[in-house]
Amino acid sequence: MDFQDRKEFNGSILKQVDEAFEYMQLHNARSASFIGLHRNDITEYPIFAVREALVNAVVHRDYSFSGSILIHIFDNRIEIVSIGGLVQGLTLVDIELGISQSRNPRLANCIYRMKWIESYGTGLQRIKESYLDSKTQPYWNVGPNSFVVVLPKNEFVYASRNDSLEIVQWIEEKETFTSKELEDYLDKSKFFVRNLLESLTKDGMIKRIGEGRATRYIRKF
């Protein structure tokens, strides 16, 4: 019922997306879990999901309306409200299956070339994927002239100290390993393991070798 803060963004679309994302990150607290001595930072809202939902709202909105995209930050969720419902002829099931029909193809192509989106039609699927290790799941509501993405605050199940030691021991026992092997061992999603591998690589605990399907990792500790 009470607004604690309010901010409006103006200027070019790219400038607005940049500034809105930075503002949202101010309200996206971090916590940490540990794999052995390795610190793994986790945010209340998956950064990928926040960025993807924000960019999608800008790319797919109906610019024949003059109203603003709305971002509501609550204690337990973020809601991003974009003007413009589904493109005529498509259903929510179609969109969730990856069917892509942009309302603004030139803008979408520009954003794609900037690598703000990785591929057409995968936004909602990838937002879901970023929540696979969370107790709460994102969802969306569609109106005749609106599309609302709801990102709940994450409630992660953290690994115990024994689990963390087992992961380190597992890596120590491997000459090389793949992300799929680590994924199977942890019983975690591709998104979780990808972030963990990137973090371990950045911290110098493992090294990536090869490219594409031939990619493997070797330990450096």
- pLDDT tens digit string along 32-60? 665 555 566 678 898 889 999 999 999 99
Are 69 and 18 in contact by the 8 Å Cβ rule? The answer is: no
13-152 CATH, one of 3.40.50.11540, 3.40.190.80, 3.30.565.60, 1.20.1530.20: 3.30.565.60
Q: What is the pLDDT of residue 22?
A: 94
The H or E element containing residue 72 is strand 70-73
Q: What is the pLDDT of residue 4?
A: 79
Q: What is the pLDDT of residue 175?
A: 81
Instruction: Indicate yes or no: pTM above 0.75.
Output: no
Q: Give CA torsion, residues 111, 50, 30, 36, to 10 deg.
A: -80
Q: Report how far residue 13's alpha carbon sits from residue 29's, in angstroms, rounded to the nearest whole number.
A: 26
Q: What is the pLDDT of residue 151?
A: 96
How far, in Å, are 54, 114, 123 from residue 119 at the CA level? 15, 12, 8
Per-domain residue ranges of the chain: 13-152, 161-219
How many residues appear in the chain?
A: 221
Mark the ranges of the chain whose per-residue pLDDT is less than 70: 1, 32-41, 118-121, 155-165, 191
185-203 per-position pLDDT tens digit: 887 777 677 777 877 887 7
Half-sphere exposure of 97 (CA within 13 A, CB side): 6
The 10 Å Cβ neighbour count of residue 110 is 14
CATH architecture of the domain covering 161-219: Orthogonal Bundle (1.10)
